[in-house]
Amino acid sequence: MGEKIRVLVPEEEVEAKIREVGAQISRDYAGRSVHLISILKGGVFFTCELAKNITVPVSLDFMAVSSYGGDTKSSGVVKIVKDLDEPLQGKDVLIVEDIIDSGRTLAHLVEVLKQRNPGSIRICTLLDKPSRRVKKQVVVDYTCFTIPDEFVVGYGLDYDQKYRNLPYIGVVEF
């Protein structure tokens, strides 16, 4: 545990932005329900807070995809570790991610989910690193924070399974 954590986005700022994004989603889905797909493990913290701030009916499912292994950089190989429990036919789907960088995982995931005939698919992320984007076709509909290319933890994001429970977004300084 020789690394130090520098606060990038304080807890109050994270909470305020999630409230704001939840209100926007509520306006955009007015009169409909939204089916949140939380991408495990990191996305669960953000998904729970986001859901509390959405006023339209919400249903929820989970998916686990892997593209990192034990490294700090995406391997580019995407595998579904846990699939959805519910069919998506006709549902307005909102994929909820903790962070999007290269976009490889998400591009693959969107293609997989489109084959299940949802009514719509949108993407919401806590953090976006557009400077690392390889898959330019990935369009993020709701972004809480655009961040520089630094290795971040907290609010569900981990480094080797540590720091997920930090209530703020921090940068790992090795």
Active site residue 160: no
Determine phi and psi for 156, rounding to 5 degrees: 105, -25
Three-state SS for the chain is CCCEEEEEECHHHHHHHHHHHHHHHHHHCCCCCEEEEEEECCHHHHHHHHHHCCCCCEEEEEEEEECCCCCCCCCCCCEEEECCCCCCCCCEEEEEEEEECCCHHHHHHHHHHHCCCCCEEEEEEEEECHHHCCCCCCCCCEEEEECCCCCEEECCECECCECCCCCCEEEEEC
Catalytic residue among 101, 128, 141, 149: 101
Residues annotated as catalytic (active site), given as ranges: 101
